[in-house]
Amino acid sequence: MAKVLEIIRRPSVTEMPSAPHPSILGAFNQRNRVIPLVDLALWLGKNPPPTEAEKVIVTEFNRVINAFLVSGVNRIHRLSWEQIEPPSQQVQVLSGNTLTGVVKQEGRVIFLLDFEKIIGDLNPDLFFKEEQETMAAVAAMAADDDEPAGTFKALVVDDSTAIRRMIGSMLEKAGFAVTRTFNGKEGWEILARTRDQAARENRPLHDLLNIVVTDIEMPVMDGHTLTRRIKADPVLKNLPVVLFSSLITDSLRHLGVAAGADEQVSKPDLPGLASLARDLVRKYRQ
């Protein structure tokens, strides 16, 4: 999900030399910020005729500001996460893993796009370089540790396919065995099964799972709700929970504190997540 900063009329745009994709129309100046403009229809492979109702949606996530040209903005809907369904596996595959949610409203089906994947696809060199540097640093950290691989076990919950893969791969490099899922409801069901398995086998929970890393904005059940459920459970409350989201800011951090999160990490701070996760696991083991 992306934080919408504003919706504006289509501005005058300066073309970029050697743009990597025809959907990148150029950049414009907005409040002394040079912002790239992406034609969302072109990126989706559509070719609608231009209209006078065209609008530009300015967004921010991961401390990066981008703008998307759309054919128009008819209404602004305020929805709860319970109203947003995860896309089925078939829909997700057929869409090229570009969706994070589905809304059924007034007889229509509305798809929620994975904007992080869009920007990653448009600028793969930047994302690849950052990921490679992060993985190298994490691998070096794990090599200096005497814990055998797979000793720590993590559950990663994130609706973005790209981010879920990146977090999971990074934690695996750091020696974690990782289970991945795409929303808080699925995450809660995995946690409940793990708790019940530990009880049946008369084993401590930390034999099966050591930490939960979850996004905040997700279909069906958001990360704050998942965190509250974990911390309200007499057994699961002993699991450390890290909120990992582009929405973690100084003004919103209190929401995670109220939910009971042990730590909150902004998505640009990915390199520090593995070290933080290992420290939390060791802290809870003591």
Nearest alpha carbon to residue 26 among 18, 39, 12, 36: 36
Q: Which residues, in sequence order, are bridge partners of residue 177?
A: 153
d(CA 224, CA 171): 22
Q: What domains sit in the chain, N to C, each tagged with a CATH number?
A: 1-76 (2.40.50.180), 130-285 (3.40.50.2300)
C-alpha to C-alpha distances, 282 to 45, 151, 276, nearest whole angstrom: 48, 11, 10
Q: What is the pLDDT of residues 98-132, one digit of tens each?
A: 888 899 988 889 998 888 788 878 876 555 445 55
Nearest alpha carbon to residue 1 among 124, 136, 99: 99
Q: What is the pLDDT of residues 45-57, one digit of tens each?
A: 888 777 888 999 9
pLDDT at 205 over 70: yes
Nearest alpha carbon to residue 84 among 107, 59, 109, 106: 109
Neighbours of 156 (CB within 10 A): 27
| Locus of tokens 């076990």 | 153
Encoding tokens for residue 188?
């809660």
Q: What is the pLDDT of residues 44-98, one digit of tens each?
A: 888 877 788 899 999 887 677 899 999 988 888 888 878 888 888 888 888 888 8
Q: Is 111 helix (H, G, I), strand (E, B) or coil?
A: strand
Look at the pTM and tell me if it is higher than 0.85.
Answer: no
Q: 206: Cβ–Cβ under 8 A, 6 or more apart, which residues?
A: 238, 284, 285
Q: What is the pLDDT of residues 133-161, one digit of tens each?
A: 555 555 555 555 666 666 899 999 999 88
Q: Per-residue pLDDT averaged across 195-217, rounded?
A: 96
Q: Is 52 helix (H, G, I), strand (E, B) or coil?
A: coil
Which pLDDT score, from 0 to 100, does residue 161 have?
A: 83
Q: Which amino acid is at 190?
A: I
